[in-house]
């Protein structure tokens, strides 16, 4: 028989083991179960309450962010069968492309080095009339989604044609999109003019509003110089009636300003104000040539602006007074425009150019600092689109639209300021992981929701057909 003291010691030890096992089981159960935990050496939240978290992580459940904190605290409070580590990564909100004509990737390089009016009237509008059909839109949207996922865009605005086809592609690829079918006063693909095009756009809005978690329908009268005052009024009234966003090209060139002034004795922004068009549901693309009073007016009316620096440069449209808009309190987002005038859908190029151009035009290196520009590409875009209650930041309650960016490449080494690095040195190729609504669309730079080889084959085939039809006959 063991001595009494030894027996007591054994019993005490056995009790400690049982208690430890019980506590382990209790602790494991007490941690909330989530679907995904994603980490990052840095978590850029775009949330002033906790702007950048080192060695951070987020927990995702039902497509939403349920916690944001340091990795230690997240792992202590949450458990998941799936975890994406964050070593060597920055975790940040996905990029918001506030202005695109997505399927126009199939016209990439078709007509370059031209003024906007010449480019549109003599090349793009005729090409759209000849080649844009449902198959063109499907393949173009798939190619655009491939390009955007690969470069870290998680939400985009699509201002183009055949919206039901576009919506099906977006549904399949997993991105989030505000789809606003373009309406114009003259014939466009599938339509004789404004009446049937706009009726179709309104029908799309009625059928899709509130029906899909990642697809937001909207309206898109093309521009003040291609849509009559009566039709512009009709468009804004419908947007208010159905409570949807409205986007429009506005004050893009000096030619437009002169044209509207001659037609209506008002500048483009004032023209829309005279029609009662300006309100917070409106976000305007380009806005290169507003005057000081128009900037104040847009700020007063809550109109968002989407800046498209590459397209504006390539078409020589001018330099938008972005610093003045920001100072006035306008919600500013960034966009790529269509790849026929950009010629890509790379938001990282838009970010860097925005940061650089306006320093040069103002001769002030402090203009639009890196943090401000990165905010434009994420939360600022969401605010301009009226979606800041859903996306644009890493914040509890928002949708889990996030990306991981690899910080280990040569051009990002060494690292002093992570936000400055992303803005001035970051590239599309650095994006490693893309998550939308809690679903992983790209992991380790491998796309999971699109068949890239099939898309490439179909896009090349359409391109060859276009070249053959446009090739001059001997």
**Where is pLDDT greater, at 123 or 19?**
123
Domain count, the chain: 2
Residue 270 forms beta bridges with which residues? none
Q: Which backbone phi and psi does 246 adopt, to 5 degrees?
A: -135, 130
Q: CA nearest 384: which of 282, 276, 270, 279? A: 282
pLDDT at 21: 42
The residues, any chain, with a CB within 8 Å of residue 53's CB and separated by 6 or more, are 42, 43, 45, 68, 69, 70
Average pLDDT over residues 368-388: 98
The last residue of a domain, from among 391, 423, 458: 391
CATH number assigned to the domain comprising residue 86 = 2.30.40.10
Compute the distance between CA of residue 370 and CA of residue 266 in angstroms, rounded to an integer.
Answer: 36
Compute the distance between CA of residue 394 and CA of residue 45 in angstroms, rounded to an integer.
Answer: 4
Average pLDDT over residues 364-392: 98
> Is it the case that residue 258 has pLDDT exceeding 50?
yes
pLDDT at 375: 98
Co-location of 75 and 107 in the same domain = no
Q: CA nearest 281: which of 242, 323, 225? A: 242
- The percent of residues in the chain predicted with pLDDT above 70, rounded, is 93
Average pLDDT over residues 191-199: 96
The last residue of a domain, from among 367, 391, 415: 391
Average pLDDT over residues 418-423: 97
Q: What letter would DSSP give residue 235? A: H
Mean pLDDT, the chain, whole residue set: 93
The tokens describing 226, both together, are 């291609």
Helices (H), 243-387: 254-264, 268-274, 292-301, 309-314, 322-328, 347-362, 370-375, 381-385
pLDDT at 380: 98
Any domain includes 3: no
Segment 143-161, tens digit of pLDDT = 999 999 999 999 999 999 9
Any domain includes 463: no
Confidence of residue 349 (pLDDT cuts 50, 70, 90): very high
Segment 197-224, tens digit of pLDDT = 999 999 999 999 999 999 999 999 999 9
pLDDT at 355: 98
Q: Is 294 strand, coil or helix?
A: helix
The tokens describing 19, both together, are 């208690």
Exposed, middle or buried by CB within 10 Å (0-12, 13-18, 19+), for 375? buried
Co-location of 68 and 133 in the same domain = no
Compute the distance between CA of residue 146 and CA of residue 453 in angstroms, rounded to an integer.
Answer: 11
Query: pTM for the full model?
Result: 0.92
Co-location of 84 and 187 in the same domain = no
Compute the distance between CA of residue 311 and CA of residue 68 in angstroms, rounded to an integer.
Answer: 36
Residue 156 forms beta bridges with which residues? 97, 177
Any domain includes 151: yes
Any domain includes 470: no
Co-location of 217 and 290 in the same domain = yes
Any domain includes 16: no
The tokens describing 10, both together, are 């054994």
The tokens describing 356, both together, are 């650089």
Segment 62-83, tens digit of pLDDT = 999 999 999 999 999 999 999 9
Co-location of 387 and 403 in the same domain = no
The tokens describing 313, both together, are 């440069």
Helix (H) or strand (E) holding 285: strand 282-286
Confidence of residue 308 (pLDDT cuts 50, 70, 90): very high
> Is it the case that residue 26 has pLDDT exceeding 70?
no
The tokens describing 190, both together, are 């599938």
pLDDT at 28: 53
The last residue of a domain, from among 391, 406, 423: 391
Co-location of 234 and 323 in the same domain = yes
Average pLDDT over residues 217-243: 98
Co-location of 275 and 402 in the same domain = no
> Is it the case that residue 17 has pLDDT exceeding 80?
no
The tokens describing 98, both together, are 């506030």
Co-location of 43 and 175 in the same domain = no
pLDDT at 470: 81
b/e per residue, 391-407, with b = 16+ CB within 10 A?
bbbbbeebbbbbbbbbb
- The percent of residues in the chain predicted with pLDDT above 90, rounded, is 89
Any domain includes 165: yes
Co-location of 434 and 310 in the same domain = no
Co-location of 213 and 301 in the same domain = yes
Co-location of 73 and 209 in the same domain = no
The CA–CA distances, whole Å, from 320 to 119, 144, 180, 307, 400 equal: 20, 26, 24, 8, 32
Output the DSSP codes for 72-114: HHHHHHEE-S-EE--TTEEEEEPEEEEEE-GGGGGGTTSS-S-
Confidence of residue 30 (pLDDT cuts 50, 70, 90): confident
Output the DSSP codes for 402-414: EEEEE--SGGG-S
Output the DSSP codes for 357-390: HHHHHHT-TTSS-HHHHHHIIIIIHHHHHT-TTT
Which residue range forms the structural domain that includes residue 182?
95-391
pLDDT at 7: 39
**Region label for 267, one of left (φ > 0), alpha (ψ between -120 and 50) or beta (otherwise):** beta
Co-location of 44 and 113 in the same domain = no
> Is it the case that residue 29 has pLDDT exceeding 80?
no
Q: Is 33 strand, coil or helix?
A: strand
pLDDT at 471: 65
> Is it the case that residue 309 has pLDDT exceeding 80?
yes
> Is it the case that residue 9 has pLDDT exceeding 60?
no
Any domain includes 9: no
CATH number assigned to the domain comprising residue 264 = 3.20.20.140
**Region label for 167, one of left (φ > 0), alpha (ψ between -120 and 50) or beta (otherwise):** alpha
Compute the distance between CA of residue 78 and CA of residue 175 in angstroms, rounded to an integer.
Answer: 27
**Where is pLDDT greater, at 468 or 348?**
348
The residues, any chain, with a CB within 8 Å of residue 23's CB and separated by 6 or more, are none
Segment 429-454, tens digit of pLDDT = 999 999 999 999 999 999 999 999 99
Residue bearing tokens 């409570």: 243
Average pLDDT over residues 231-239: 98
Any domain includes 457: no
Average pLDDT over residues 348-359: 98
């Amino acid at each position: 028989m063991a001595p009494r003291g030894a027996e007591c010691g054994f019993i005490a030890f056995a009790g400690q083991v049982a208690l430890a096992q019980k506590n382990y089981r209790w602790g494991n159960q007490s941690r909330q179960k989530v679907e995904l935990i994603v980490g990052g050496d840095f978590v850029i939240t775009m949330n002033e309450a906790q702007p950048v978290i080192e060695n951070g992580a987020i927990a995702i459940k039902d497509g939403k962010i349920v916690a944001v904190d340091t990795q230690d605290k997240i792992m202590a409070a949450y458990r998941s069968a799936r975890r994406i580590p964050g070593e060597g990564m920055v975790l940040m909100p996905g990029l918001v492309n506030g202005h695109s004509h997505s399927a126009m990737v199939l016209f990439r390089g078709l007509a370059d080095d031209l003024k906007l009016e010449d480019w549109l009237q003599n090349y793009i509008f005729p090409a759209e009339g000849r080649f844009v059909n449902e198959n063109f839109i499907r393949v173009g949207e798939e190619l655009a989604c491939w390009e955007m996922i690969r470069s870290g865009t998680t939400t985009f605005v699509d201002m183009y044609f055949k919206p039901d086809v576009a919506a099906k592609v977006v549904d399949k690829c997993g991105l989030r999109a505000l789809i606003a079918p373009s309406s114009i006063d003259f014939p466009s693909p599938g339509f004789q003019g404004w009446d049937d095009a706009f009726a179709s756009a309104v029908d799309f809005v009625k059928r899709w509003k509130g029906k899909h978690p990642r697809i937001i329908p909207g309206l898109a009268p093309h521009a003040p110089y291609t849509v009559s005052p009566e039709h512009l009024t009709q468009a804004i009234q419908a947007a208010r009636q159905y409570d949807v966003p409205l986007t429009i090209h506005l004050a893009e060139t000096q030619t437009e300003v002169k044209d509207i002034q001659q037609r209506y004795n008002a500048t483009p922004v004032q023209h829309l104000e005279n029609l009662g068009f300006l309100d917070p549901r409106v976000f305007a693309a380009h806005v290169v040539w507003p005057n000081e009073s128009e900037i104040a007016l847009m700020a007063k009316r809550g109109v968002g602006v989407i800046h498209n620096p590459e397209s504006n440069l390539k078409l020589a449209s001018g330099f938008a007074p972005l610093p003045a808009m920001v100072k006035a309190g306008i919600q500013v987002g960034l966009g790529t425009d269509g790849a026929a005038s950009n010629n890509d859908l790379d938001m990282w190029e838009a970010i860097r150019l925005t940061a650089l151009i306006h320093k040069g035009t103002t001769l002030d290196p402090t203009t639009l600092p890196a943090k401000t520009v990165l905010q434009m590409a994420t939360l600022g875009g969401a605010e301009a689109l009226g979606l800041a209650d859903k996306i644009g930041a890493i914040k509890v309650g928002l949708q889990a639209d996030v990306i991981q960016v690899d910080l280990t490449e040569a051009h990002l080494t060494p690292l002093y300021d992570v936000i400055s690095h992303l803005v001035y040195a970051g590239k599309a190729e650095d994006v490693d992981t893309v998550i939308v609504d809690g679903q992983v669309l790209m992991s380790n730079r491998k796309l999971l929701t699109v068949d890239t080889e099939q898309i490439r084959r179909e896009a090349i085939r359409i391109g060859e057909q276009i070249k053959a039809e446009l090739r001059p006959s001997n």
